[in-house]
Amino acid sequence: DHIVSPIPTPDYDWQAADAAHHLHPFSDHKSLHQGRVRIITGGEGVYLTDDAGHRILDGMAGLWCVAVGYGRQELVDAATRQMQTLPFYNTFFKTATRPVIALADRLTAMAPGDLNHAFFASSGSEAVDTALRMARTYWITRGKPGKRIILGREYGYHGSTTLGAAAGGMVDMHRQGAVLPDFAHVMPPYWYGYGGQMSPEEFGLYAAKQIEDKIREIGAKSIAAFIGEPIQGAGGVIIPPETYWPEVQRICRENDILLIADEVITGFGRTGRMFGSETFGIAPDIMTLAKAITSGYIPLSAVLVGDRVADVLINETGEFYHGFTYSGHPVACAVALANLDILESEGLAARAEAKGARLRGKLAEALGDMPIVGEIRGVGLIGAIELTADRRTRRFFERRGRVGTICRDHCFANDLVMRAVRDTMVFSPPLTITDDEMDEMVARAARAIAATQADVRSEIM
Ligand code: PLP
């Protein structure tokens, strides 16, 4: 019953057309077109279908976004109704629409702390750009234009616009030109990779101390904001030890540096609370949201701003010269409202915690004894499996990323989507996933990881 893509002619060559004309994001096109591109044709619940008739369990919820699962008629209806009523109107120049007002009201009521003001855009990257512009504008307005530097973290991901990529810590993006002045980076709270002999708690304090040292080195008078994901998602689901965020919070407060929580992945229930900031006890000045705000059904992002920054922007800055044609798009906002109805009525945030604990338990049963599995970690329904050459010393494989890619391909061969970040397999299934579906996910993951282990057996201690 899915709406099928229109087929130009029965013998139309989708593979050839893709190879000839379609530039994919984050792809090496030469290797991409050596094999077949998997063309996804439909989705229902946690399952995708492709043009070869496979039924694929989507362990990533698309790109961490399809929180309520595929095929939710409520979201389709909300979009249809809004398109019929008013498909577009902008929110510049003294106008607004009802969906955008209702969503701003609802999001700020849901959000923790004093995040009482919402700005809208279409993507996480745009939300991050906006947050960084706001942070700098705040300091300029307060007469401290020297506070310009944005502190981010290695393996941080804050999107693909130039500002977002510069704030992020992905060296491959920096190497291709996404570098700007006034950005600096510190180490991530990645205990598995960098913790050495320290306990996770000790390491959390150590990683936070690196921020303090960096601030001393640069000078707090030059730093506008620290930006961090509560859990670094695209960097490999790096879950900070419990000691980390309270320290970061203290350091930012003491140095008068704004704290921006990038919740593009962790927002809307993924970590077992509605926002990752609640899970980790973070009180950000600014929060960025996207992805699960509409469960990915239509692009939308938001920047929530706390009273301290908003008061200055609203009462002192004058015009903030920033905005997008689609800021507060009424159809996207209507879909977001319907999506929040589902999240709340089905209690998906609270249920993610119990489901995640069950999923990790089952993964530990199925994979825990495999030599290639170094760690299984997670919070709520976001998690990671570290593939290792030596589980005792937590040694990585040579040429990092190679084994992860092998494993990702085995996952695909087993009709499971899991993403590889270096040699870390990451997962974030739809929050609607059932116990049976989780068991199926574990079974497929176990087959894929066993096959990977067999492929690289000679390299494992
Ligand atoms: N921030 C974080 C934490 C993200 O994970 C992402 C995307 O994965 C972004 C920002 C960028 O969002 P988008 O791809 O919608 O621009």
Contact 379, 441 (CB under 8 A): no
pTM, two decimals, is 0.97
At residue 4, the pLDDT reads 57
Query: Averaged over 288-317, what is the pLDDT?
Result: 98
Query: Averaged over 105-111, what is the pLDDT?
Result: 98
Of 153, 155, 157, 282, the one to substitute when testing ligand 1's pocket (max ligand atoms within 8 A of C-beta) is 157
Q: Sign of torsion, CA 284 286 290 293? A: positive
Task: Calculate how far, in angstroms, residue 404's C-alpha sits from the geometric centre of ligand 1.
Answer: 21
Q: Kindly state the percentage of the chain with pLDDT values over 70.
A: 98
Q: What is the pLDDT of residues 1-32, one digit of tens each?
A: 455 566 677 788 999 999 999 999 999 999 88
237 token code pair = 């689901």
**pLDDT at position 188 over 50:** yes
For ligand 1, atom 6, name the residue with the nearest CA: 159
Distances (CA, A) of 66 to 43, 358, 445: 11, 20, 20
Q: What is the pLDDT of residues 339-380, one digit of tens each?
A: 999 999 999 999 999 999 999 999 999 999 999 999 999 999
| Ligand 1 atom with the shortest distance to the CA of 290 | 15
At residue 1, the pLDDT reads 44
- Cα–Cα–Cα angle for 235, 239, 245, rounded to 5 degrees: 110
Task: Calculate how far, in angstroms, residue 126's C-alpha sits from the geometric centre of ligand 1.
Answer: 9
For ligand 1, atom 1, name the residue with the nearest CA: 158
At residue 267, the pLDDT reads 98
| Ligand 1 atom with the shortest distance to the CA of 288 | 1
Q: What is the pLDDT of residues 251-270, one digit of tens each?
A: 999 999 999 999 999 999 99
| Ligand 1 atom with the shortest distance to the CA of 64 | 8
**pLDDT at position 115 over 90:** yes
| Ligand 1 atom with the shortest distance to the CA of 159 | 11
For ligand 1, atom 9, name the residue with the nearest CA: 159
At residue 283, the pLDDT reads 97
Helices in 219-275 by DSSP H: which ranges? 244-254
Of 132, 263, 291, the one to substitute when testing ligand 1's pocket (max ligand atoms within 8 A of C-beta) is 291
ipTM above 0.95, yes or no: yes
Task: Calculate how far, in angstroms, residue 457's C-alpha sits from the geometric centre of ligand 1.
Answer: 35
Of 64, 66, 128, the one to substitute when testing ligand 1's pocket (max ligand atoms within 8 A of C-beta) is 128
Of 64, 153, 158, the one to substitute when testing ligand 1's pocket (max ligand atoms within 8 A of C-beta) is 158
Of 130, 227, 265, the one to substitute when testing ligand 1's pocket (max ligand atoms within 8 A of C-beta) is 265
Task: Calculate how far, in angstroms, residue 236's C-alpha sits from the geometric centre of ligand 1.
Answer: 14
Residues linked to residue 262 through DSSP beta bridges, in sequence order: 288
| Ligand 1 atom with the shortest distance to the CA of 156 | 3
Query: Averaged over 430-455, what is the pLDDT?
Result: 98
At residue 47, the pLDDT reads 98
Torsion of CA 271, 275, 277, 283, to 10 degrees: -170
| Ligand 1 atom with the shortest distance to the CA of 164 | 10
| Ligand 1 atom with the shortest distance to the CA of 301 | 15
| Ligand 1 atom with the shortest distance to the CA of 299 | 15
Q: Sketch out the chain's domains with CATH numbers.
A: 14-68+347-459 (3.90.1150.10), 74-345 (3.40.640.10)
425 token code pair = 């397999």
At residue 5, the pLDDT reads 60
For ligand 1, atom 11, name the residue with the nearest CA: 159
What span, in angstroms and rounded, lies between the C-alpha atoms of 215 and 116? 29
The per-residue pLDDT of the chain, averaged, comes to: 96
Please tell me whether residue 185 adopts helix, strand or coil conformation: strand
For ligand 1, atom 12, name the residue with the nearest CA: 124
HEC readout, 261-278: EECCCCCCCCCCCCCHHH
Contacts of 202 (CB under 8 A, 6+ apart): 243
Residues with CB under 6 A from ligand 1: 123-125, 128, 157-160, 229, 233-234, 262, 264-265, 290
